[in-house]
Amino acid sequence: MPPTQKMVAVSALTAYLVTHFQPEMTIRGSFILTSLAIFSGAFLGWAVWAVLIYPHMFSPLRDLPSPPNATLFMGHSARISKEPTGIPMRDWANEVPNNGLIRYLHWLNNERVLVTSPKAIAEVLVTKNYEFIKPKLVREGLGRILGVGILLAEGDEHKRQRKALSPAFAFRHVKDLYQTFWDKSNELVERISYDIAHQGADYGHAQNVVEVGEYTSRATLDIIGTAGLGQDFGSIADPNNTLSQHYKAIFQPARGQRYLQMAGIILPGWFMRNIPLKRNYEIMAARKYIRQTCEKLIQDKRAKLKKSRDFDILSVAMESGGFNDEELINQLMTFLVAGHETTSTAMLWAIYLLCKNPSIQTRLREEIHANLPSPRTKAGRKIASHQIDNLPYLNAVLQETLRLWAPVSLTMRVAAQDSTIIDHPIPKGTLIIIAPWATNNSYELWGDSALTFDPERWLKEGQTNKGGADSNYSFLTFLHGPRSCIGMGFAKSEFSCLMAAFMGRFKCEFEKEDYEAEIVGGITSKPKGGLWKKNKPGGANRAAAQKATAEGPTPRVDRGAVKKKKGKKEKAKAKANAKVKANGRTSQSTQLSKDAALAEEVGKIEVADEQGARIEQESKG
């Protein structure tokens, strides 16, 4: 980044001295013209040195391997600006022979170092993690949306924050949240079923088609609110929810965003934030509303904690005594974004990959149906963590999704001091690129099938956690070390529940058979224009899904209404179960009987929803 502010100051001081002590050397006796001339000369000299001479002749990084086709002034930025974030880095890691480091040139030949080997990654993220910090440009840019919470804190401040917040993400606590994840996951599929049934003639898409990203974002926002902050935002039920709409505006890729990012390399952050652009106005409005929401959450939680103790993220942060109100707001802003946008994006890519691989989708659905009761039955409304965790193919599909399409394609660090990576000198100020899309898709680390969606790699003996790779550092979706994602366990458990409910209910197909996603990047990378897909009732859940079209969504909290209807349906259920028992029809691939007492008596007889619904209807007749 050019020292423009320093050059302006030096130019002005030089012009002042010349004007007062050597006035004959000024331009027409003008201080302003003299300052401009000095600044122009200094800037031109700097540009020649920084752009044309230093990177190619004096930089200690010049001996590192680099991708081909760099231009004289713009380096490799032409490709970077045209392709989705992370794709060039993925290709370079696979195509450029390297020892763990690759140098590429950004705009005006600004040097960047891509780390590719497990050893290099381990040094940056673990052994020397506090020597490589988040760049000021990233902290200022993301800080507008995330707040300066644990994600952007550095050094001792980061250590303090992580220690205070860790209890909220403890293994046992996350296990206790599975019921909340499951309730919200099933509220999501009920909402989709209801909306499909009520699509109007002017909808503009084929019947049963929805943009799934809209729903996943609302669901994960509700989950982080309910499970993480103790507040249900009601986003699933209300598509016009104000908080959800503000986040939608933030995450929507802006027109010309890449060019603004490039301009931010040489222009100061305060200037970029105050350019009168629609994007800046949207972010300012969203930030104001989100801060107000966080303030209200803190006030409500403070009153609640006087009566009883909670163990969600906000409660843990407040009871630690380590955060003032401004710091609490920053933490809430961080978790609201990090806790919902990344999981929503991961779910979007999982559904995309399953649409492209119908045989994998079918196998996953069969595992779900064979091991989980239908959520529309009494038995299926309750869930225990082991029921989800003991689904090996579900875990394999989700791990492979997170490997192939990590929600965040790359992250940056900057050398806070002169340092080394795998014994190569790294000057202070060097930008270091850590790209999950490069590491997770490396041929060297994952073999010839690195770019292939293959859940089987996670099912091989001894490879449940590594997927066949030799090193844990081959999988960078959650990073590693002290700066790894503190909410990894929370996110993976939430992701599992969402996908189990979704794929257990729906059979998914693209709206257009030959659809290929065009990727757009922002904080996360996702399909451009959203993911439009057909949703058909899936297998044994077909009758239950069709029944939802008439009844509308049935949120978890309305379960009391179900009990009131129990007496009227009791005879029908007894008749259905009696028929099943008499005929000996027991199958592990069908849904559990609604009558829990009878299920225990006959060894948990499982009955397909479709069959149960048909017999129940006959009994009513």
Dihedral sign (CA 532, 504, 394, 481): positive
Q: What angle do CA 351, 356, 358 make, to 5 degrees?
A: 90
Q: Are 594 and 571 in contact (CB under 8 A)?
A: no
Residues 6+ apart with CB under 8 A from 125: 434, 473, 479, 480, 481, 483, 484
Q: Can you point out the beta strands (E) in 490-583?
A: 506-510, 519-521, 525-527, 532-537
Q: Is 485 annotated as a binding residue?
A: yes
Q: Can you point out the beta strands (E) in 472-606?
A: 506-510, 519-521, 525-527, 532-537
DSSP 344: H
102 strand-pairing partners: 114
Taking each helix axis from N to C end, the angle separating 257-266 and 136-146, rounded to the nearest 10 degrees, works out to 130
Task: Give the residue from 621, 601, 580, 590 showing the smallest Cα distance to 377.
Answer: 590
Q: What is the rounded CA–CA span in Å between residue 104 and residue 108?
A: 12
Q: Are 78 and 48 in contact (CB under 8 A)?
A: no
One-letter amino acid identity for 352?
Answer: Y
The tokens describing 441, both together, are 């898709």
Q: Are 246 and 290 in contact (CB under 8 A)?
A: yes
Dihedral sign (CA 258, 261, 267, 268): positive
Task: Give the residue from 402, 446, 411 showing the smallest Cα distance to 124.
Answer: 411
State the virtual CA torsion across 563, 568, 573, 576 in degrees, nearest 10.
-160
The span from the first CA to the last CA of the chain, in angstroms, equals 78
One-letter amino acid identity for 8?
Answer: V
One-letter amino acid identity for 503?
Answer: M
The tokens describing 428, both together, are 């202070």
DSSP 116: -
SS3 551: helix
Residues 6+ apart with CB under 8 A from 76: 67, 69, 70, 88, 104, 105, 106
Task: Give the residue from 412, 402, 414, 527 showing the smallest Cα distance to 476.
Answer: 402
Task: Give the residue from 617, 574, 620, 621 showing the smallest Cα distance to 599.
Answer: 574
Taken as a whole, the chain contains a residue count of 621
- Binding site as annotated, residues: 485
- Binding site as annotated, residues for heme: 485
